[in-house]
């Protein structure tokens, strides 16, 4: 293995932008499936292809990181960003597979709202990470992080509202078991977006 | 951002003591709500205020950490302590909200016992962290860590006992779903206390 | 505390081999209990003894790590390996206790298959870690990591298959709650094995 002695900072940003592009398509695909209520074999296959692209770019980032002396920001932060960004796709993919396993082929209003929140959070993430190239104007980046926190809060409220409704409506226990898991999984996706926003914020402070 | 060149070790200890004071009031509030069986809007509002105070002090610690060259112990350990201490409050706050969502406005003996264990564990945590200022007598600190491990073990047994009872009593599935989640959440709070005790122990070994 | 200035690399490898030997006996014991359907007091006592041995060796590794200047690979990687290897035993032990709590004293075909996958993954882990002593031939080690990934994939499919069956067979909700948790726990054990394989891979890349 040859260590690269020339700082190749730009490379990491390029890779992160490729990664957020993949996450953006995962979120778009997930929203489409939620609106159509089509969590079937075909829908899963579409997500699987995206998930595989996500794995490859993550692997490339981690691989480059292990071989690089000089990085644009802390090694652990790069590793954490790559890993958590990939996690967003994994959670969405797992949700898709779980919906099919539970035969929940319906356009559920709660799921559609979750899919919209996830898409918005992923959009803000992509913006924040794009602008990490130039940290001279941290306020622009922080604005996106604050928006992600707001969306995560909305996700918490949405989860409580849809799960509360399940119980209040007297849904049968098997239905409760299935949808409670799905809704909590969808909310977890927003938690991960918030975790990523926190990493971005801490990068800004350290560069400050 | 100006880096402070003067070691401000005492600052971190002051902040940690402020943080454990907030956790102590969270645990006290939680026990009170459990005894009264009052997981209603008013109870949640009391916890929300405490949770917000917790967020602020955690943010201050992380912020100071990112700006400081010299720290009284490993940066990661400070970060981990601040984060996990805040986690104790988050779990207790989440439990409170979940109790209301599930309309479990009862003084449940199992929950009261959990609240007592959490209060005791938080007390021992506060003592251990207070005494980290002076690590010349590690045995005094370790005694608190051992006590926390004991309380966590009791929490494990309590969880198994109350969940086992749910099933043995033939509770209806919806009741099982609700209380099983609540009891497991309460036990998680003690797990986090044990994690913090482990961080304290590893700090002692490194300073040893 | 006296810091050791002589590199004692071999020590860590000896300890890791002791640790994987304990995990191997945990996996063997778990498979035996699964085949016999004997998740009773006696079975739990056998697992408890193994779990305690695991705790002791983990404690010894972490303790040595905190006192050592020179380590055969990154400190965090050693810490992570020791911690996650111990986690494998903890999950298996927790599963055993949970089976008894739920009075699931049956030889369940799904559980037996999980126990076999866990045993195979643990075998590959032990081989990979044994061969970390000499990283001149990384391909030999990577072969084991790939095998662990394969087993984890099989675990995912097995979990989906057995949980899907629970719902399709119209099992009663209480049965679903119990077995769903058990099957997911068993799969988590394979996830942890995969996490460990990833740590091993990253060690190889850094040494490359």
Opening angle at CA A25, ends A20 and A28, nearest 5 = 125
* Nearest C-alpha neighbor of A27 from the set A71, A77, A92: A92
| CATH placement of domain B9-207 | 1.20.58.220
Give A196→chain C minimum CA distance, Å.
Answer: 20
Residue B193 near residue B151, CB atoms below 8 Å: yes
Q: For residue B167, with 0-12 CB atoms within 10 Å meaning exposed, 13-18 middle and 19 or more buried, which class applies?
A: middle
Test the B interface: residue of C4, C173, C180 with most B CBs within 10 Å: C173
**Count of CB atoms within 10 A of residue A208's CB?**
12
Whether residue A63 lies within 8 A of chain C, CB to CB, comes out as yes
pTM for this one? 0.91
Residue A115 near residue A27, CB atoms below 8 Å: yes
pLDDT of residue A1: 46
Minimal Cβ distance to B177: which of C62, C172, C177: C177
Q: Residue A102 and residue A120: Cα distance in Å, rounded?
A: 27
Whether residue B106 lies within 8 A of chain C, CB to CB, comes out as no
* ipTM for the predicted complex: 0.88
Whether residue C178 lies within 8 A of chain B, CB to CB, comes out as yes
Would the CB atoms of B205 and C101 count as touching at under 8 Å?
Answer: no
For chain C, the maximum distance between any two Cα atoms, rounded to a whole number of angstroms, is: 64
Helices C41-67 and B173-207 cross at an angle (nearest 10°) of 30
pLDDT of residue A10: 55
**For the segment B69-123, what is each residue's pLDDT rounded down to a tens digit?**
778 888 888 989 999 999 999 999 999 999 999 999 999 999 999 999 999 999 9
Whether residue A66 lies within 8 A of chain C, CB to CB, comes out as yes
Tens place of pLDDT per residue across chain C (208 aa): 445 555 555 588 999 999 999 999 999 999 999 999 999 999 999 999 999 999 999 999 988 887 787 788 888 889 899 999 999 999 999 999 999 999 999 999 999 999 999 999 999 999 999 999 888 888 999 999 999 999 999 999 999 999 999 999 999 999 999 999 999 999 999 999 999 999 998 888 877 6
Q: Residue C43 and residue C31: Cα distance in Å, rounded?
A: 11
Give A66→chain C minimum CA distance, Å.
Answer: 6
Structure tokens belonging to residue B34: 């459990």
Q: Residue C61 and residue C85: Cα distance in Å, rounded?
A: 11
Residue B155 near residue B117, CB atoms below 8 Å: yes
Test the A interface: residue of B66, B69, B172 with most A CBs within 10 Å: B66
Q: How far is CA A153 from the centre of its chain?
A: 15
Minimal Cβ distance to A1: which of C164, C176, C208: C208
Give A163→chain C minimum CA distance, Å.
Answer: 17
Which helix (H) or strand (E) segment holds residue A165: the answer is helix A138-168
Structure tokens belonging to residue C166: 């629970």
Whether residue B173 lies within 8 A of chain C, CB to CB, comes out as yes
Distance between first and last Cα of chain B? 34
Would the CB atoms of B167 and C173 count as touching at under 8 Å?
Answer: no
């Amino acid at each position: 293995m040859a260590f690269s002695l020339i700082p190749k900072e730009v490379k990491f940003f390029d890779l992160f932008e490729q990664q957020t592009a993949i996450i953006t398509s995962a979120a778009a695909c997930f929203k489409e499936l939620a609106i159509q209520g089509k969590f079937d074999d075909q829908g899963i296959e579409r997500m699987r292809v995206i998930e595989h692209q996500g794995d490859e770019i993550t692997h490339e980032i981690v691989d480059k990181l292990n071989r690089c002396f000089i990085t644009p920001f802390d090694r652990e932060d790069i590793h954490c960003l790559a890993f958590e960004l990939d996690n967003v796709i994994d959670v969405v993919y797992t949700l898709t597979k779980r919906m099919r396993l539970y035969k929940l082929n319906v356009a559920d209003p709660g799921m559609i709202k979750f899919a919209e929140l996830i898409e918005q959070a992923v959009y803000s993430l992509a913006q924040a990470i794009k602008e990490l190239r130039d940290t001279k104007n941290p306020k622009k980046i922080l604005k996106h992080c604050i928006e992600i926190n707001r969306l995560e809060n909305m996700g918490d409220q949405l989860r409580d509202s849809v799960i509360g409704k399940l119980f209040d409506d007297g849904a049968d226990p098997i239905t409760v078991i299935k949808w409670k898991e799905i809704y909590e999984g969808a909310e977890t996706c927003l938690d991960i977006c918030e975790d990523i926003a926190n990493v971005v914020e801490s990068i800004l402070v350290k560069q400050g």
